[in-house]
Chains A and B, each alone.
Chain A
Amino acid sequence: MSKSVIEIKKLSKAYMIGHEQQAMAGTMTFRDSLTNLVRKPLELITGHQLKKEKFWALKDVTLNIEQGDVVGIIGRNGSGKSTLLKVLSRIVEPTKGEAVMRGRVASLLEVGTGFHPELTGRENVFFNGAILGMSRKEINAKFDEIVAFSEVEKFLDTPVKFYSSGMYVRLAFAVAAHLDPDILIVDEVLAVGDAAFQKKCLGKMKDVAGQGRTVLFVSHSMATIQSLCTRGVLMKDGKVVSQGSVQDVVEAYSGVISGTSGRFDNFQQRREGAQDISIKSIELSHNGSVQNKFDALNDVELAIKCKTRGKTNNIRLDLNLYNDVGVWIACFSGRYSFGDKGAIKVYLPDQALYQGQYSANISLLDNEVLQDFIPEAISFVIKPNNSMISGVSGVIQGLLK
């Protein structure tokens, strides 16, 4: 009987978050400094601090990971992914619970940890390798391989402060890629370097995964997760909400991202504009069926219903599209005239978007006067297309096709 390589039992991590008003930028007055001068040492002595609140970054996380699993951990920002990796890397101590790691662990939470700008590439390889857990013997043995992988042979004896950022990252990843752990913990570090190097790194990661090692991998790129991982774990608010096959978990994540329906009418309050004309609802559909997940090959129809006061014929609608990491992808803009009903139809063209999560701001102008603006009015998912997730090709892509 073999035991799990990683056993996590009810692991929790709490942070105390202070609400120190004076600490807010720009509001620190001389008087505040004076009161602090008295208060701070007083707090030090009494141990009593004002307005502290407990925040659970991880709450009762229980997971078993078997030898050879390549686990993709996904979730929105602040869902506890990185905290989990930090606890498992022993950088921070859990507040409750425990985890057992069987085997040598190497964690790569950042590319180039401990790189010193004044040191040469060669010197940094040694220090970085050592701090990531390699012995001097190991580094010596792998040195040539590391240098070859990094493609910076020529500049090996130049201080890295003179490196281009690409060279820097290549050298740093090369060191990390030659770690030989039983368990590899990787935070979103592949989002650096140019496309060709990313491909090389992913290839290397696949090699590592193929050798029966266990990999924990955090990424926001669903394509990378799908091409690399065998299992998925979805986190939300510090808890594991779903785990299983990578396909299921990615789909569950899509649900988290965009709600469950293609109809949006419960907009948040933070709206702007005169509101003489305002948006009541938006429905996303394809071929008449309302949905929020679309095939990459199909177009997306937006049916926007507005509240209006009579006819107007100089309406402008702007739709700003963002991807899951908040990069502005495109602006769709069009002019419309309202009948009595105030309905607008907008089409996002087929085959324009890659798989992923998208959200959009919508603004409505009448005679160039802003009437309504809804941040994050809609969100939807473009489903992976099977021809795209084979190999690593899914990762190397532009924003629009």
Chain B
Amino acid sequence: MEHAVVIRPKKRIAIDWKELKEYRELFFYFAWRDVKVRYKQTAIGILWAVLQPFIQMVVFTLFFNKAVGVQTGSEGVPYAIFSYTGLLFWNYFSQALQRSANSLVDNQSVVTKVYFPRIIPPISSTIVSLIDFGFASIIFVGLMIYFKFVPSTLGLLLLLPAILVSFLAASGPGLFLAAVNVKYRDVKQALPFLIQTGLFLTPVIYPVTAIPQQYQWLLYLNPMTGVINAMRSSFLGAGTIDWPLTMLSVGMAIVMFIGGLYYFKGREKEFADII
């Protein structure tokens, strides 16, 4: 027989690529279901994905820029598009992280009744958020046209890597927290608060240069700093890309992803027992 499965206590942590390939359709089924379910019985459906960041941008512009006086730090870059660039990536990151962290608990009934690679729900959650990211990008393109910005070649080249780094940065902690959440539901309570704090620790509403030069590397330990700064610089010409520090961000994203994945794989065998 071509298909023999040996069931025994696992000692080694390994990713079964063959199995993931076999189950690849399930990644998309989970994502597809989540998208379908999310906007059922809503009047404006997927428009919410566009409306939310747009309203956030308007509020930020009125409040931080006009009232408090936060500046973009670059001549000729309006605060609206400056903050929207930050929000676009930050929202992808925070939503992907939040969905991913809750994905196992939300799929509790399935986890205890069927076998499938447990990594599928957290990873597919980050795919769902990518769809929202796509819709939110429409506003970004609109703003580019409205403020007469032309994207540089570098910007277009960096777009995919930026999305990939955001994906790694969200999936790593997402996998870690999803595994912790199985045992300690404290995650669900703590996460919204952590994400809110994260918004201020990431240069979303302010430029990196708002921080003294010698401390900027601290900000770059957060992968989203590298992503947002690179995108602003290459699309809007706001600030410059500090390559060594940007690489620090990329490195952090990779470390976070591997760390989260490793923790998740080590825990996954007990999920169905304790969820």
Q: Are B25 and A136 in contact (CB under 8 A)?
A: yes
Number of interface residues of B (CB under 8 A): 31
Residue B113 lies at the interface, judged by CB distance under 8 Å to chain A: yes
Q: Distance in Å from the Cβ of A201 to the closest Cβ of chain B?
A: 18
Residue B26 lies at the interface, judged by CB distance under 8 Å to chain A: yes
Q: Distance in Å from the Cβ of A131 to the closest Cβ of chain B?
A: 6
Choose among B4, B37, B272 the residue that contacts A116 (Cβ–Cβ < 8 A): B37
Choose among B3, B29, B111, B115 the residue that contacts A89 (Cβ–Cβ < 8 A): B115
Choose among A90, A96, A100 the residue that contacts B4 (Cβ–Cβ < 8 A): A100
Q: Are A102 and B1 in contact (CB under 8 A)?
A: yes
Residue A278 lies at the interface, judged by CB distance under 8 Å to chain B: no
Q: Are A118 and B9 in contact (CB under 8 A)?
A: no
* Residues in A whose Cβ lies below 8 Å from that of B148: none
Number of interface residues of A (CB under 8 A): 42
Given contacts A102-B3, A107-B114, contact A95 B33 (CB under 8 A): no
* Residues in B whose Cβ lies below 8 Å from that of A93: 7, 9-10, 269-270
Q: Are A89 and B114 in contact (CB under 8 A)?
A: yes
Residue B5 lies at the interface, judged by CB distance under 8 Å to chain A: yes
Residue A92 lies at the interface, judged by CB distance under 8 Å to chain B: yes
Q: Are B5 and A107 in contact (CB under 8 A)?
A: no
Q: Are A119 and B36 in contact (CB under 8 A)?
A: yes
Q: How far is the CA of A96 from the CA of B8 in the complex (A)?
A: 7
* Residues in B whose Cβ lies below 8 Å from that of A101: 4-7
Question: Per-position contact with B for A83-96: 1 when CB-CB < 8 Å, else 0?
Answer: 00011111111111
Residue B116 lies at the interface, judged by CB distance under 8 Å to chain A: yes
Q: Are B272 and A105 in contact (CB under 8 A)?
A: no
Choose among B10, B37, B113 the residue that contacts A118 (Cβ–Cβ < 8 A): B37
* Residues in B whose Cβ lies below 8 Å from that of A113: 109-110, 113-114
Q: Distance in Å from the Cβ of A376 to the closest Cβ of chain B?
A: 31
Residue B197 lies at the interface, judged by CB distance under 8 Å to chain A: no
Given contacts A90-B115, A91-B113, A113-B109, contact A102 B7 (CB under 8 A): no
Choose among B3, B32, B33, B114 the residue that contacts A91 (Cβ–Cβ < 8 A): B114
Closest to A124 in B: B33
Question: Per-position contact with B for A357-373: 1 when CB-CB < 8 Å, else 0?
Answer: 00000000000000000
Among B7, B25, B115, B272, chain A packs the most CB atoms within 10 A around the CB of: B7
Residues of B8-46 contacting chain A, CB below 8 A: 8-10, 25-26, 29, 32-33, 36-37, 40-41
Q: Distance in Å from the Cβ of B269 to the closest Cβ of chain A?
A: 4
Residue A99 lies at the interface, judged by CB distance under 8 Å to chain B: yes
Q: Distance in Å from the Cβ of A101 to the closest Cβ of chain B?
A: 5
What number of residue pairs across chains A and B have CB atoms under 8 A from each other?
98
Q: Are B114 and A103 in contact (CB under 8 A)?
A: no
Q: Are B5 and A100 in contact (CB under 8 A)?
A: yes
* Residues in A whose Cβ lies below 8 Å from that of B29: 126-127, 130-131
Q: Distance in Å from the Cβ of A209 to the closest Cβ of chain B?
A: 19
Question: Per-position contact with A for B28-69: 1 when CB-CB < 8 Å, else 0?
Answer: 010011001100110000000000000000000000000000
Choose among A107, A135, A182 the residue that contacts B25 (Cβ–Cβ < 8 A): A135
* Residues in A whose Cβ lies below 8 Å from that of B273: 15, 92
Q: Distance in Å from the Cβ of B118 to the closest Cβ of chain A?
A: 10
Residues of A147-183 contacting chain B, CB below 8 A: 159, 182
Q: Are A94 and B115 in contact (CB under 8 A)?
A: no
Residues of B230-275 contacting chain A, CB below 8 A: 269-270, 272-273
Q: Distance in Å from the Cβ of B25 to the closest Cβ of chain A?
A: 6
Residues of A1-32 contacting chain B, CB below 8 A: 3, 5, 11, 15
Q: Are A100 and B6 in contact (CB under 8 A)?
A: yes
Choose among A5, A105, A118 the residue that contacts B41 (Cβ–Cβ < 8 A): A118
* Residues in A whose Cβ lies below 8 Å from that of B109: 110, 113-114
* Residues in B whose Cβ lies below 8 Å from that of A99: 6-8
* Residues in B whose Cβ lies below 8 Å from that of A95: 9
Residue B112 lies at the interface, judged by CB distance under 8 Å to chain A: yes
A positions within 8 Å CB-CB of B: 3, 5, 11, 15, 86-105, 107, 109-110, 113-114, 116, 118-119, 123, 126-127, 130-132, 135-136, 159, 182
The 3 closest A-B pairs by CB, nearest first: A98-B8, A90-B115, A93-B269
Between-chain CB contacts (< 8 Å), 8 pairs: A15-B273, A91-B113, A99-B7, A100-B5, A100-B6, A104-B3, A118-B37, A130-B26
Known: A92-B272, A113-B113. 19 other contacts (CB 8 A): A5-B1, A11-B7, A89-B114, A91-B113, A91-B272, A92-B269, A101-B5, A101-B7, A102-B3, A105-B5, A107-B115, A113-B114, A114-B110, A118-B41, A119-B33, A119-B36, A126-B29, A127-B33, A130-B25
